[in-house]
Amino acid sequence: MNSATFAIDSSARRRDADIWFALPAGFLPLPFKEVLDARNVLEGADGGEHPLLQLVGELDASERRQERGALFAPVLRAFDVLACSGVLHCSMGLHLDDEGNGGVLPSLFTLSWRQIAWAPRNVIAARLAAGLHEALHVEVLELPCGPACLAVTRLSPPDVGVAGQLFQIAVHVPYPDATKLAVLTLATTAAHRVDDYRDLLRATARIVTFESPLPVERGEV
């Protein structure tokens, strides 16, 4: 039996961390918080390092400041929306479509917190499931970390055509004190692989824990 190998991000060892999770291969973390924190470098004078430039490669030295700002403006706006929505983590998924045309299927994973009124955690999960009337698929999960609700929704109208449809799979997991929800989402335009993405996010949710799974290092006790 082969044991799984995990790359541990430095954020997993932060003292204020209150949720831990793992993603399968094929997901690239997007440093949206670092991008926003370093906005003045990207929009300011030439020079300096910026996470976006590290991702796509340094622009030619002849690029003017305003051209650089215009190039990344849509990305910054999207990252602003993520930050305002309480997103803690964002990753882009890139996987080969082994059942379609063999192309690359992009997806977007996010993890965020959502404050809620207190109720027993199983009641919260049941209420969420009961209130998702427009969802294509809903189920209540019993995860190792507690009850949760999984839902699949179509975020775009069906009349836009298959190529233009956007689907979102979301898992809502009540925190142990039942005052907030951990919300895991996975968005994709691959209509023919929605069930696979649903299974992927369900498996990811089963790894979520609110207690650190990492061994205590010497000096941390």
CATH number at residue 122: 3.40.1000
Residue ending a domain, among 65, 84, 103, is 84
Please tell me whether residues 100 and 205 are part of one structural domain: yes
- Position 199 scores a pLDDT of 97
Residue 221 has pLDDT above 50, yes or no: no
Please tell me whether residues 109 and 159 are part of one structural domain: yes
79 Cβ contact list (under 8 Å, min separation 6): 32, 35, 36
Cβ neighbours of 107 (radius 10 Å): 22
Contact between 114 and 86 (Cβ < 8 Å): yes
Please tell me whether residues 56 and 94 are part of one structural domain: no
Please tell me whether residues 128 and 52 are part of one structural domain: no
The pair of three-digit structure tokens given for residue 122, joined into one six-digit string: 């199983």
- Position 218 scores a pLDDT of 53
- Position 71 scores a pLDDT of 55
Residue 8 covered by a domain: no
The pair of three-digit structure tokens given for residue 76, joined into one six-digit string: 């910054």
Residue 87 has pLDDT above 70, yes or no: yes
Closest of 200, 201, 196, 209 to residue 185, by C-alpha: 201
Predicted confidence (pLDDT) per residue in 90-102, tens digit: 998 989 888 767 7
- Position 75 scores a pLDDT of 63
Please tell me whether residues 106 and 207 are part of one structural domain: yes
Residue 179 covered by a domain: yes
Mean pLDDT computed over every residue of the chain:
81
Cα–Cα distance for residue pair 131/160, rounded to 1 Å: 26
Residue 16 covered by a domain: no
Domain count, the chain: 2
Residue 2 has pLDDT above 60, yes or no: no
Residue 143 has pLDDT above 60, yes or no: yes
Q: Mean pLDDT across the stretch 173-196? A: 95
Cα–Cα distance for residue pair 144/167, rounded to 1 Å: 26
Q: List b or e across 64-78, with b for residues whose CB sees 16 or more CB atoms inside 10 angstroms.
A: eeeebeeebeebbee
Please tell me whether residues 102 and 197 are part of one structural domain: yes
Please tell me whether residues 70 and 103 are part of one structural domain: no
Residue 86 has pLDDT above 90, yes or no: no
Please tell me whether residues 77 and 100 are part of one structural domain: no
Residue 198 has pLDDT above 50, yes or no: yes
Please tell me whether residues 34 and 137 are part of one structural domain: no
Q: Mean pLDDT across the stretch 186-195? A: 92
Q: For residue 151, what are the domain limits? A: 88-214
Q: Who wins on pLDDT, 119 or 75?
A: 119
Which residue type sits at 92? M
164 Cβ contact list (under 8 Å, min separation 6): 156, 189
- Cβ-in-10-Å burial (0-12, 13-18, 19+) of 198 comes to buried
Closest of 124, 116, 121 to residue 179, by C-alpha: 116
Cα–Cα distance for residue pair 148/124, rounded to 1 Å: 8
Find tokens 């999207």 and name the residue: 78
Please tell me whether residues 130 and 159 are part of one structural domain: yes
Please tell me whether residues 127 and 207 are part of one structural domain: yes
Closest of 4, 8, 76, 74 to residue 41, by C-alpha: 76
Predicted confidence (pLDDT) per residue in 125-142, tens digit: 999 999 999 999 999 999
Contact between 113 and 180 (Cβ < 8 Å): yes
Residue 14 covered by a domain: no
pTM for the whole structure? 0.78
Please tell me whether residues 66 and 125 are part of one structural domain: no
